[in-house]
Amino acid sequence: MPQVEECVKMSNFVSVEDLPLKIVEQLLKRASYFKNGGQQPKFKQPVYAANLFFENSTRTHCSFEMAERKLGLTVIPFDPATSSVKKGESLYDTLLALNSIGVQLAVIRHPQNDYYLPLLDLAPTQQLNLGIVNAGDGSGQHPSQSLLDMLTIKEQFGHFAGLKIAIIGDLTNSRVARSNMQLLQRLGAEIYFSGPQYWYDAAEFGQYGQYLPLDQLIEQMDVVMLLRVQHERHQSEDQFDVTAYHQQYGLTKERYRKMKDDAIIMHPGPINRGVELDSDLVEAPKSRFAEQMRNGVFVRMAMLEAVINGRKLGGI
Ligand code: CP
């Protein structure tokens, strides 16, 4: 079992793009340790966290809060809708206020890609001194989703190298697709893409894998990773027909029957039932949807602990 001194130390946790694979491995081990009832770290000093969600969330928000409570952190409530953000206060000034009050860790979801970059590159004269954990930025990164997906895949197959993984659907708008393709490629998986051509950008995704019609992929894939159709990010919905989408790009019962015996279905949630997959398949034997959400808590505990250790916030 991993010990406290083997834990990862990070100042912030914003992306998996360049996260060393050794650290990925340690975080997944640590998450498994927590999942299997391993002892939670006992911090010598109280640690104060706030969750700032500028985009809607159920899984990530509640899961980070559960992870914080399991680690014994004190969570300071923050709701953008009733905060001074509504009076025009900037993200930096909001964080400066929270940090001055005593918040040491900020978990942030934000609609703007790379919102965290200016916060990581502050001039020495600036007073902000708190750990940033990215809970999703626009269509950029979703590191906690990516790591919980890796844990779910590892639990199923025990390895990543050589696994055939299809990422299907609204690729252009998906931070889950970006984070996962970046990490899975480095972990040695064979990546495929499918879905509507208007959501596939060959210049970006072509570096990571091949784009093929779903019916050419379904029988060979180990992991069928479906993406939510992100209506809120679309300029126009003119092209979108639910029935046509489901028939052409969705996981129908017919396609499900063609999957390999030990293949799994994944979806980051929230699911558009009857669109990305048939509603009856959400809890089918091959679906790992609920397990992904369960794993999210333990992965987030490992991520938060890494930043607490990196900043020596807990006094250990
Ligand atoms: N997967 C995910 O990020 O879900 P939420 O938007 O509900 O947090």
Would the CB of 269 count as within 6 Å of ligand 1? Answer: yes
Give me the average pLDDT of each 10-residue run along the chain (316 residues).
64 96 97 96 95 98 98 98 97 97 98 96 86 97 98 98 97 97 98 95 97 98 96 76 94 98 98 96 98 98 97 86
Atom 1 of ligand 1, nearest CA residue: 268
Going from the Cα of 59 to the center of ligand 1, the distance in angstroms, rounded, reads 5
pLDDT at 122: 87
Contacts of 52 (CB under 8 A, 6+ apart): 78, 80, 94, 95, 106, 107, 108, 109, 110
CA torsion angle 247 249 253 255 (round to 10) = 120
Residues 281 and 285: their CA atoms lie apart, in Å, by 8
pLDDT digits (tens, 9 = 90+) for 212-233: 999 999 999 999 999 999 888 8
Atom 4 of ligand 1, nearest CA residue: 59
- From the alpha carbon of 136, which atom of ligand 1 is closest? 3
Would the CB of 271 count as within 6 Å of ligand 1? Answer: no
- From the alpha carbon of 109, which atom of ligand 1 is closest? 8
pLDDT at 177: 98
Going from the Cα of 196 to the center of ligand 1, the distance in angstroms, rounded, reads 22
Residues 255 and 260: their CA atoms lie apart, in Å, by 11
Look at residues 284, 136, 166, 147 and name the one whose alpha carbon lies nearest to residue 227: 166
**Contact assessment for residue 149 and residue 225, using Cβ atoms and an 8 Å cutoff:** yes
pTM of the predicted model as reported, rounded to 2 decimal places: 0.95
Would the CB of 100 count as within 6 Å of ligand 1? Answer: no
pLDDT at 233: 80
Q: Which two tokens stand for residue 74?
A: 């004190």
CA–chain centroid gap for 215, Å, is 27
How would you list the strands of the sheet with 131-137, edge to edge?
74-76, 48-53, 105-110, 131-137
Would the CB of 268 count as within 6 Å of ligand 1? Answer: yes
pLDDT at 124: 77
